[in-house]
Structure 1
């Protein structure tokens, strides 16, 4: 028996106005569910999703980055990157270093404490990814990735 559709989940009486509407609402509903589960896990480490994202970017880059560069790489757009970095600095997870060539540029550097926290999160996060979406086959996962990237590209092209 197939899982209940969004129409049933939302207890909607009338059909969706279009397949596009149904698809967008499915994406938003799924995103919200995933976001809540991931948020619960990250709260165990005193992090928000955005804070984790900054640390993940810095660890992956392996060197300090300007805060605007970090902002451009975030999964979710954050209007106040400075405040986000302030909170991470207060937790001693990042530090700031001024550029010697251009004093207006501030680099953000990940701390050893943050690397330890990320190392603790890595395994539980991978397990959560498997629980959330590991029931799909590799082919289905690739198809999902391709479709989402294609949809995101259309929006990106529209904005440019």
Structure 2
């Protein structure tokens, strides 16, 4: 490809990337009803704490090293996150019965409630986002989003 064609292609990709970023920022901005419907308004959560709640909701209990790999974050950082979440009564941690060196983390009842409510709200928002699309458009969108998510 000639130098000018490469430059134009790069410029077009950059423009498209800016458009994608703007669309994603709008799509990922939490709607007001999600904020108003916060399941436990007195509990503040960081983005990583929310991610931990969702990981534990998907996988059940996890050992600390697996949780660190899934975030990804150093084990020392995950330990501090779990310390804060344990203080908020969102998670419980225990030593493995097979190997006392292994620490297992799971959602506490309060954490499970928060996870379930957040998940329900997110699903409602996702349904509203898909409503204006035809079935074919939904399939294409989901296929493309799946392809993008596998690249991350």
Question: Same fold, TM exceeding 0.5?
Answer: yes
Count of residues in correspondence between the two structures: 138
Within the candidate set 40, 44, 52, 1:54 is matched to 52
TM-score, with length taken from structure 2: 0.67
1:22 matches 2:12: no
Cα distance change on mapping 1:148 and 1:59 into 2, 3 Å: closer
- Which of the two has higher C-alpha Rg? 2
The answer to whether structure 1 residue 35 and structure 2 residue 33 are counterparts is no
Contact 1:42 1:48 in 2 (8 A): no
TM-score normalized by the length of structure 1: 0.64
Asked if residue 124 in structure 1 is aligned to residue 121 in structure 2, the reply is: yes
Change in Cα spacing, 1:97 to 1:135, as seen in structure 2 (3 Å) is same
SS at match of 2:45: coil
> 1 or 2 for the larger relative contact order (CA 8 Å, sep ≥6)?
2
Distance 1:152 1:98, change over 3 A: same
- Structure 1 vs Structure 2 CA RMSD: 3.2
Match of 1:89 in 2: 86
Q: How does 1:72-151 map to 2 (within 5 A)?
A: 72-74=69-71, 77-78=72-73, 80-151=77-148
